[in-house]
Amino acid sequence: MDSTWDNAPDEKVANILMPYKADVDKKMYQVIGVSAMKMEQKRPESLLSNLVAEVLRCAAECVLKHPADIGLMNMGGLRNILPEGDITVSTVYEILPFENSLCVLTLKGTEVKQLMEVIASLKGEGISGACVQMTADGKLVSATVQGQPIVDDKEYTVATIDYLADGNDGLLPLVQSIQRECPDEMTLRGIFLDYVKDQTAAGKSITSKLDGRITIVPAVTSDKK
């Protein structure tokens, strides 16, 4: 079955579905906020990935009573741009089409370092609360969390989605978490919808910024012969 069927719809079926479609359209095309700028996802960092990672990091407050140390979102989970102007429910569904849920993980610093190495090898992912310096070929040069060097035996909290918490997209260090909590009915899409609505209720538009949280630096070379 393909789009050619759209040219000859069954009239009886269309009439049955019409009132339901009208109700769905009313909900999906409801304007819930305004984006101050066009936001795309691209590596190593981008306006959209930075925003979604920050929304995740702050959403961990429902578990921790404060934001997580790190927010993490995969670029592959962001499936459309956020255009400048009106934001509808449909807009958010197009960006976040999957039923991914919030997961709050606790990792030791050793695993966080490994996580940063993986992020560098992937040439960047959506992160918040951390900074990564890497080479153009995906080697980690340095990483910090909350502006501080990562300490091996210190515990860090990471707010991400269940898909990544299970080690998908190569993010296997997340599987080594010493604690994991995934609240019921806390989908990323729902969290983002609530964020947009809350910002709108506060009289704010949706914004983001590029702040150098992931940067490409020259590879370190040795002068020794």
Residue range 126-143, pLDDT digits in tens: 999 999 999 999 999 999
Neighbours of 216 (CB within 10 A): 18
| pLDDT for the residue numbered 225 | 46
Band (19; pLDDT cuts 50, 70, 90): low
Q: Are the C-beta atoms of 191 and 102 separated by less than 8 Å?
A: yes
Return mean pLDDT, the chain.
91
Q: Which CATH architecture has domain 34-216?
A: Alpha-Beta Complex (3.90)
| pLDDT for the residue numbered 27 | 77
How many percent of the chain have pLDDT more than 90? 84
Asked if pLDDT for residue 1 goes beyond 60, the answer is no
Report the b/e string of 24-43 with b at 16+ CB within 10 A: eeeeeeeebbebeeebebee
Asked if pLDDT for residue 51 goes beyond 80, the answer is yes
| pLDDT for the residue numbered 42 | 95
Band (23; pLDDT cuts 50, 70, 90): low
Asked if pLDDT for residue 191 goes beyond 50, the answer is yes
Query: Which range is least confidently modeled, 12-21, 72-81, 133-142, 173-182?
Result: 12-21
pTM over 0.85: yes
pLDDT average, residue stretch 179-198: 97
Residue of 132, 109, 151, 144 lying closest to 50 (CA atoms): 132
| pLDDT for the residue numbered 7 | 67
Sign of the dihedral through C-alpha 89, 94, 99, 100: negative
Strands 155-161 and 70-73: parallel
Distances (CA, A) of 200 to 15, 79, 190: 36, 23, 15
Asked if pLDDT for residue 101 goes beyond 50, the answer is yes
| pLDDT for the residue numbered 12 | 63
